[in-house]
Amino acid sequence: MGTSTTSSARPAAAAGRMAAVNEMTRLLRLLFEVEREYLRTVTTLVYRVGEPELKYLICQHAWESAGHARFLRERGRELTTFGTHDNVRPEITRIFEEAVGTSTSDPLVITAGFYRVLKPALLAAYQHYLKVTDHLADWPSKKLVEEFIADEERHLREIDVYLKEVDAREWTTHLTQALDDLGGWLGSETRLPLAASFVWQHEKTPFTHPATCNRGRYPVCSGVFGMDPTEDPIVRPWLTDPKTDARVIRLMVYVWLMMEMDAIDYLATVFYDTPKAPFDLHFDLARHLWDESRHSQFGFRQLPKLGVDLMTVEHSLDLYNILIQMPAHERYALMTMEFEAGSFPTKATVMDRVRELNDFEADTLLAFDRNDEQNHVRYGHRWLPEMMALFGETRPTEEFVKATQEKFKEVAAVYGGKVPHSLPKEIRLTGEKVLKLAGVN
C-alpha cells in the first residue's frame, strides 16, 4: 500500500511543481488553435470581397497570422503539455465556421465579423497573456506576444478603412454572443451562456464557395490571353516573338501579373476545404497566397505608371469559375503542376526581353515572381500527395496530375468562356492599345 500511494502521488506532485508552466502552455495552445482556425476561415473572404486592395490586405494578414501560429507552436513545444498534434477543439472551430457567414450575402458585413469581433477578441487574449505571465521567466513568449499585439492592432487599423460605412451591428452582435459563451478565446472573461433562441447559422445552412469571384467595380471578362490584338490585351505570339518591342512585352507582362488575382481567388478556397490538413500545409499555402497577392500588386501598381487606366483592364474570371467546380486537391494540382510549372519557359523569354529596357524595377519584380513561382512548384511536390490522401486519392501523383489536366479541359468546355466582356473593345485595353501606350507604331 505504501509503494502504491507514493507512486500515485508522484504525477500529482510533478504537475504541482510545473503548474505555472502548464497554465501558460494551456493559453499558448488556445492561442495557436485560434490563429490556425482564423487562417483557415478568413481566407473565405478573399474571393468574396471585390476591392483588389482589400483582397491583398486580407492575404497579407492571413500570412502574418500563419506566422503567429507557427511561432506559438514552436514556443509551445518547448514547454510541457502543449501536445504534438495540430488539431483544434470543436468549440473554437464552431465559432469560426459561424463567422464564415451563411446568413448574409454582404462580404463586407462578414469581414466586419472577423475584424470587429474575432480579431479584437484575439488582441484581448494576447493582452491577457502578457498580464498573467511572468515577464522574465516566460521572456521568449512575452517577446513573441508583444510583436503579435502590434500586428493585431495594425490589422484592425488597416481594415477599418474598408469598413467605415458598413453597418454590421446585427451580425457582430450575433458573433459576440457566440464568443461570449466561451468567455472569450481563453475563457478568461465572464461567460454569458447563449440564449435559448440563438441559432447557429452554419448548422442551418453550410457554407459553399460562390460560383464566381467578386471583382467589385472593375470590368470583367472570361480571359485576357488571345491571338487577336483587336480583342485581347495579351497577344500570345507577341510574348515570344523576337520582333516584338520590349516595351510592349513589359506592358503585357504587367497585365499578366495583375491577373494573378485569379490565383489569389481560387487558391484561397483550398484552406476551407482542407480542415484536416497538417498546419504546415496551411502555412505554406498562406505563403503561396501572399506571394500571389504581391505578384498581382506588381501589375496593379505598375500599369498606371505606364499610362494604363485600370478601369479599362478587364479581369479574367475563367480560372476561378472552372476550378471551383473541381475538388480542392485537383485545384491545387493544376495550379502548381500545370499553370505555374508550365509558365517558366515563356516567362524566361519575357524576362530576357524586358532586361533590354534597363528597367531595374521591372527586372526586380519579374525576378522575385520567378523565384516565388519556383517555390510554389516545390510546395506542390511536397504537399500534393498529402492533399490527395485527404481526399482518398490513391493513384500515383503523376497519373493523378495527368488525369486532372484532362478533366480540366472537360470542365472548361462547360464552365469556361461564359463571362461576356464588360467593356466594348473600343474602350477596353487590347493589344492594339498596348502598342500605342508603348509608343510603338
Taking only the tens place, the pLDDT of each residue in 418-427 is: 999 999 999 9
d(CA 330, CA 42): 22
Residue 70 belongs to a domain with what CATH number?
1.20.1260.10
Phi and psi (nearest 5°) for 23? -70, -40
Q: Within a domain: residue 63?
A: yes
Structural domain count of the chain = 2
What's the residue count for the chain? 441
pLDDT at 2: 47
Cell triple for residue 132? 498573467
> Do residue 136 and residue 243 come from a single domain?
no
pLDDT at 10: 57
Amino acid at 288: H
Residue 288 CA, distance from chain mean position: 8
> Do residue 228 and residue 199 come from a single domain?
no
> Do residue 192 and residue 247 come from a single domain?
no
- The conformation of residue 157, written as its DSSP 8-state character, comes to H
> Do residue 290 and residue 382 come from a single domain?
yes
Cβ-count burial of 77 within 10 angstroms (0-12 exposed, 13-18 middle, 19+ buried)?
middle
> Do residue 312 and residue 394 come from a single domain?
yes
> Do residue 420 and residue 346 come from a single domain?
yes
pLDDT at 7: 54
> Do residue 200 and residue 232 come from a single domain?
no
Cell triple for residue 225? 490571353
Residues of the chain predicted below pLDDT 70: 1-15, 17, 103
pLDDT at 80: 83
- Closest by Cα among 276, 405, 424, 218 to 330: 405
pLDDT at 227: 96
> Do residue 266 and residue 317 come from a single domain?
yes
pLDDT at 1: 42
The residue among 204, 238, 267 that closes a domain is: 204
> Do residue 317 and residue 398 come from a single domain?
yes
Q: Within a domain: residue 174?
A: yes
Digit-coded pLDDT (tens) for 117-136: 999 999 999 999 999 998 99
- Closest by Cα among 141, 144, 124 to 188: 124
pLDDT at 130: 95
> Do residue 226 and residue 200 come from a single domain?
no
The residue among 156, 180, 204 that closes a domain is: 204
The residue among 177, 204, 231 that closes a domain is: 204
pLDDT at 104: 74
Q: Within a domain: residue 181?
A: yes
Buried b (16+ CB within 10 A) or exposed e, 36-53: bbbbbbbbbbbbbbebbe
> Do residue 407 and residue 279 come from a single domain?
yes
User: Which domain does 186 fall in, by range?
Assistant: 19-204
Q: Within a domain: residue 215?
A: no
> Do residue 163 and residue 232 come from a single domain?
no
Q: Within a domain: residue 112?
A: yes
